[in-house]
Structure formats: C-alpha cells, structure tokens
Amino acid sequence: MNRVVIVGGVAGGATAAARIRRLDERAEITVYEKSGFISYANCGLPYYIGGEIVNASDLTLQTPESFFSRFRVDVKVHHEVVAIDTVAKNVTVKNLGSGEVFVKEYDKLILSTGAKPIRPPFSGIDSEGIFTLRTVEDTLNIKKFILSASPAQAVVVGGGFIGIEMAENLARQGISVTVVEGGPQLMAPFDSDMAAFIHGEMRRNGVKVMLNSMVEGFNKSEGRLNVCLKGGVCLPCDMAILAIGVSPDARIAQAAGIATGIKGSIVVDDHMRTSAPDVYAVGDAVQIKNFVTGRDTLISLAGPANKQGRVAADNVCGLDSSYTGGQGSSVIKIFDMTAACTGINERTAAAEGIEVRKVILSPLNHAGYYPGGRTMTMKVIFSAQDWRVLGAQILGYDGVDKRIDVLATAIRAGMTADDLAELDLAYAPPYSSAKDPVNMAGFIAQNLRDGVVRQWYYEGADSLPRDGSVTLLDVRTRGEYSSGHIEGFINIPVDDLRSQISSLDVGKRVYVICQSGLRSYIAARILEGNGFEAYNFAGGYRFYDTVKNDRVGAQCASPCGKEN
C-alpha cells in the first residue's frame, strides 16, 4: 500500500489528493493543513469581504468530512508539518489545537505549502487594523472588523491582484480607499501604457491611486491608524491591507536540505520532483519554467497549481506526466472593467533581450451594428524573428476573457500572425464580428511584417518634429478633432483626404492618427498609393489620450493623500 502524505490542502494539495485516489483506490492518503479549511477558493476571498459572495461556506469547495466521504482521504486541519526527514522518510507534525507532536511516515511526500504574504519589518506593522489576506481565517477577520468598526477610510498597500480586488471590494462597502504602490504603475504583468486604463478605471470609481510611494511604517494617533510614507507624509485611515506581494513558503523544505531557487522557492523538475527522493512539490512554493522564455520563474496562480498537483499525483502513481511550464495567463475584474494578460509583456521582452514587434488595436467586442458594443484595447506581442505570438494584454468590458484564452492557446501552440489571421472563430452579431478581434490582431501583424503599413507609437509622440519637416495628420472628424487632439497635428477627415491630398507635401513623411487606428490605416494606404511615406499610430487617439492623461496625472501627484 502506497502511503502518501500531502502538506497543504488548498489548490495543488487537494487536487493531488483527489487525483491519487482516482488512480489508486488502495493508497493511504493523509493531508495536513495548518489552517482550519481545505480546498477553499483563494481567489474568491475578496468577494466575500465585498459582499458579492454572501455565505462564507461558499468559499470552501470541500470540508474534511466531505473529502473523506468521497475520496477516503484523511484530512487533518489545524495540523502543521514542522519538519521533514528525507532519509527516514517521515514528517513531524504538530497538532495546533492540542499541542501534540507526532511523526508520520511516508512512501511519497507532496509539498503544497503555497506562498505567504510579504510583511516587511515596518515599525508598527502589528498594530490593530492592519491585515493581510491569504486564508479563510484572514477573510473572516477582515469581514468581522468591517462589521464591528465600520471603517470610513482604508489604505491598500500594493497594487497587484489582491490589492486591486481588495480596493474594489472595500470601495463597494462604502469605504474610501487609497491604493499606495511603490512602483510606477498598478498591475505589474501589464505594460505601463496598458496599465493607464486600469488607473483610470480605479479613479473613476473613487479609488485614490498613489504611485511611486513607498510605505515606511505605521503608527497610531488619536485612535486612528497612520500609514507613513517615505518623505514624512502619513495617511490617516481606519484600516490597512498589506498586499505587497507573496513569497514562497518553503521553510520546511529548506530546513530538510531540499534544493531551493528564486526567493527560496522549491526547485522541481518537469515531473514536479524535488531534489529529495520521493518528495514532490507543487503550487506557489515551487520554481517553474516560463513557457515563453524558458527561464526559471515564480507564478502564483491557481491554474498552474492545480495542473501541477495533477502532474505530481500522476507520477506518484506511476504514470509519466510532465508540466511544461506556465505563461501567467490571468484575468481580473476591476469594477466594471476586465483586465487580462498572458505570456510576456514588452517590458519583460526587453529585459530578456527578446526582440519583439507589437500591435495595438481597439476593436468592439461584437458587431458594430448590433446594439451594446463596447471597445476593448488589445496589445499583442510577436517575435520579431518568426512572428510567433509571445504575449497579449487586453482591457475592456465584454468579451475580454474569451479573446485572452484564444491568445493563450495560440502561445501554447506556437502560433504565428498568419495562424491568428486564419483562425476560424465562432461569429454571431451579439458575440463577435465576422473578423474577430483576434483575427484583426493577426491581420495588422501581417501588414507590418509585409510592409503594407508602417506604425508609430506613443513613446515616439513627443519627439515628432514640429518644425514642418514632417506632416502630422489627424484624420478624425472635425468634431472629434475639436474635442481634443495632439499639438501640431492638422485635421483632414479621412473621407476628405483624396480631395485635399494636393495640399500635402509628397516629399515629407506623414504621421497619421485617428480615434482607434482603423481610419488612419485607411488614410495611410491612400497616402502610400499617392507616393507618400505614411506611418499609422498604433492604438488611436483614444489610446494616446488615456496614456498621456495618466502620465501627466502621475507627474502632478504628490504623496500627500490628494487624489491624482
């Protein structure tokens, strides 16, 4: 009989336990979980605090009793594994309720210890009203505090997934929220130009966003909590959420001499095996390969953890199963907006020395003639060598999730711009367009590759000559132009361009812009057909205006608690 011990009973651990039972009816499976809950939905925790999920019981997919009833897995909650002996093949376990310490032998061991929230050694960090969010217990404590203390103001420290979700759900409870982020943007998986849309959505919903603002400590005065920033400014509030990030919880593996890597994470091979015989590790505690770059990385997401749990279980039971790496596919709800990404972004490509090409487009989520269409913003990253899809970021209100899933699949399959253009995707007016936004990304990339169109980008806008040596052309309607345009651009609506083309100097380069990039592409083709050298702006004026306003706002903001 195969004796399997699993340390950690949430995503990866619970998945591994259920998979082992399905493959081996006779295995003795024991799960030790130091919290009071197993198989719970980490990603749903903020939504219970915000009231979207009403019943706390809905956060847990299984209880120890239901797990045993269905899978005959012995689950011990409030039990912490405090040591591993990889030679004797046993673990030392502490019952956190009774204090009893005992030894449990194993034939196979799976570590699913996850990641723990980062708590820097700030002064006053243990003050009442400061919380982190990792477990169901954390969630219940935050909810209890809100119900009992009725906080009016909250500061969320950190602008990643948990920080953004907590900010939204606190705001939905009528709490005034300030997000303090030490870096230049929220949501690091997105490039800074795309993050501008996230900043805008947060501000539109009343959340104050403070970027490039470092927290140095906390103190109490007049019964209120102060979040103290570098520079001496303090933000008064009633509660604070630390969402600075997470680090792998691999202490027991390190103490046992198991090889570790980035930030102390557990090193595993593609079978999820550690350096110790018969010891496997999965989830947020492990170092894996980035599927796109092939480099070692950490990806703290539920999807990879569950897949790794299945792979480890397969190998424990004698199957030959491999995990080929993660690409960070993720999606987040930000008030009414959806933000999603997969693969690498432009910043990562530059850091890794990968030469890329990008397309930025602003398509509707479905056919324009069908009521209710809403614009999404897409940025797709391609390899400069072979035009393989390497990454994508999408922001919008409807249809974002299905497009990011198509692009995530394209990355996994090694698809190119040509493949995107040829994808046969489902179409009906309420759901898509005959040329789906994913197809459109492929078409634009083909045009770039084949020299049908040249592009210019936001980062080059300020350096364009304003001395008359080039032509700066806005081809939107006169009404659109008058409501806002880039300094130095003249206005000729695209439908008037042919009749007025003689007013332009054919010897000058033309930099063209419209609202979304489509009309300016048509204008660029008209110009090229008449002997001009034309460049089309990627993303359109809507994209330019969002990024420009965000950066101007960030420059004007100071860490004084004022809304930027």
Query: pLDDT of the chain along its 564 residues, tens only?
Result: 799 999 999 989 999 999 999 999 999 999 999 999 888 877 889 999 999 998 888 888 788 999 999 999 999 999 999 999 999 999 999 999 999 999 999 999 999 999 999 999 999 999 999 999 999 999 999 999 999 999 999 999 999 999 999 999 999 999 999 999 999 999 999 999 999 999 999 999 999 999 999 999 999 988 899 999 999 899 999 999 999 999 999 999 999 999 999 999 999 999 999 999 999 999 999 999 999 999 999 999 999 999 999 999 999 999 999 999 999 999 999 999 999 999 999 999 999 999 999 999 999 999 989 999 999 999 999 999 999 999 999 999 999 999 999 999 999 999 999 999 999 999 999 999 999 999 999 999 999 999 999 999 999 999 999 999 999 999 999 999 999 999 999 999 999 999 999 999 999 999 999 999 999 999 999 999 999 999 999 999 999 999 999 987 665 444 443 333
pLDDT at 554: 64
CA distances from 262 to 247, 273, 291 (A): 10, 17, 17
* 341 a catalytic residue: no
Q: What is the rounded distance in angstroms from the CA atom of residue 104 to the CA atom of residue 112?
A: 17
Q: Active site residue: 43, 228, 556, 560, which one? A: 43
Whether residue 160 contacts residue 132, with contact meaning beta carbons closer than 8 Å, is answered with: no
For helices 192-204 and 161-171, the axis angle rounded to 10 degrees is 20
The confidence score (pLDDT) of residue 564 equals 37
Can you give the pLDDT at residue 223?
85
pTM: 0.93
Single-letter amino acid, residue 212? N
C-alpha to C-alpha distance for 207 and 214, rounded to whole angstroms: 18
Strands 510-513, 534-537: pairing kind: parallel
Cα–Cα distance measured from residue 329 to residue 343, given in angstroms and rounded to the nearest whole number: 7
The pLDDT value given to residue 553: 63
Q: Which CA distances in Å does 38 have to 25, 42, 309?
A: 21, 10, 15
